Amino acid sequence: MIRQLITVRCSLLIIALMMGLVLLIRENKQPTTENATTAVPFNLPSSTPTEKVASDKNFPLVRLAWFTNIPREDDMFRVVEWFDLYIFHQGNEKDRELMVALGARGPILQYILFESIQAPDSCTAKPKLNQVAYLPGDYCSISEQHPDWFLLDTEGQRILVQDKDINLYLMDPGNSGWRSFFLDRIKTIQAEPNWDGIFLDNVPVTLAFREVSGHLPAAYSDDTSYQAAVQGFLKYLYESYFHPNKKLVFANLVSRKDDADWVSQLNYLDGAMHEGWAIDWPDGYRPADTWEKQMVLAEQTQEMGKTIVIVSHGTQEDKTLQNFAFASYLLINHGNAFFRYANSDDYAEVWLYENYAYDLGVPLGPRYRDGQAWKRDFTKGNVLVNPETHQVEINMKQK
C-alpha cells in the first residue's frame, strides 16, 4: 500500500511539473525564425519550430488537428502545445486524461466507424474498439437476431469491405433498429467524461464506392435514396442525443462525386474532414480549377457555421509542397478551419514546420485575385498562392 501511495504521489507530482512547464511555454511564445519580419521563401529551412505564436485570442490563425494515434510519451508536450483538435479511439482514455492534465484544450472527439461493423474470427474473439459492435459476441448476435440490419447487394448478399486483415460488413443506414442500437452504444461510450463528441469515419454521401466494387445495395437504387438514408441517420443521431447534450458530431465525408454532395450532408454535422485537400498524394499539385473548388468548399463550409478539418497528404521532407498546402490554408481560414500536413501511414508522427510559427496577425479580409494568384492581407503581412505556377509567398512586415 505504501509503495502504491508513493507511486501515485510521484505521478501527480510529475503531471503537476509538466503542466507548469506547458503553462510557462504558453506565456512566453515568440517566433522562432530569425527573419520573421521578412519575406519567407517557399522552400523552408529544415528545422522545426519549438514555440507557437498565437496571432489573436479571438482569431486563431493556425489551428492544427491531431488524429488518431496517441502520441509517444516523448512527443506529448509538443502535441499538446501545438495541436488544437484531437481524435482518439475508445480505450485511449488514460492517455487522453494525461494529455488533458498537460493542458490539451480540445475539442477531443471519439473515433467511430459509421457505415460498418467488424466480423471477428469467432464469437468469443475481442473486436476492435473503433466501432459500435465492440463487445465479444456482438457480431454473432446481430447476425442471428437482426439480419435485416445488414446492407445487402442486389444478389441478396451482405456487402463485405476488407481493411487489411479485418473483415467489415456494411450496415443499412435507413434501418430503424440499427440506428437505435448504434445510438445506444454511442451513449454508453460517450458517457465517459472528457469526450466532447464523436468523429464518424467513412460516412458515404453517394454510391460511388459501391459502383467501383460492383456491389450495389438492393435497398437504394440511386444516389438520391442513399443520401436520404445517410442524412436521415445523421439527423437521428444529432437531434436525439448530440445537439440536446451539446456534444459535437464530426464526419469524414467519403465517396463524393461532386462538392454539392459534401454540402448536402452538413445539415446535421458540426464539422467535416476533407482529406487530400489542395495537393494530391504523394507529391503532386492539383489542377488549378480543382484547387479553387476545394478552396471554395472550405470557405462555404465555414460560412455555414461548420468546422472543416483539412488534411493535405505529402511526405515529411517535401517542405515546398507543405508550404503550398499551408499557405492555401491561410487563404481560407476564417477561424473555423483546422489543418494537418501528414502521411496517412504516419499519423503517429509529429511533423512541425517553421511556417506554423510565423506571426501574420489577423486577416484584414478574404482572399482576392492578384493576376493568376490569390492573395490575402493580414495586419502583419500577407500570403500569396499561385495555383498555376505553384509560387508561394508568406510575407511579414518590417517592424
DSSP 356: G
Return phi, psi of residue 30, to 5°. -140, 155
Sign for the CA dihedral angle at 205, 167, 87, 124 comes to: positive
Residues in the chain: 399
Side-chain-side CA neighbours of residue 369 (13 Å)? 3
338/63 Cα distance (integer angstroms): 5
Q: What is the CA radius of gyration of the chain?
A: 23
Strand partners, 273: 252, 309
Residue-wise pLDDT tens for the chain (399 aa)?
Answer: 444 433 434 444 444 445 444 444 444 433 333 323 333 333 333 334 545 554 565 678 999 999 999 999 899 999 999 999 999 999 999 999 999 999 998 899 999 999 999 999 999 999 999 999 999 999 999 999 999 999 999 999 999 999 888 999 999 999 999 999 999 999 999 998 889 999 999 999 999 999 999 999 999 999 999 999 999 999 999 999 999 999 999 999 999 888 888 988 999 999 999 999 999 987 799 999 999 999 999 999 999 999 999 999 999 999 999 999 999 999 999 999 999 999 988 899 999 999 999 999 999 999 999 999 999 999 999 999 999 999 999 999 876
Which stretches within 128-264 are classed as H helix? 138-145, 176-190, 208-213, 223-237, 259-264
**Contact assessment for residue 265 and residue 250, using Cβ atoms and an 8 Å cutoff:** no
Question: Could you tell me the pTM of the whole model?
Answer: 0.87
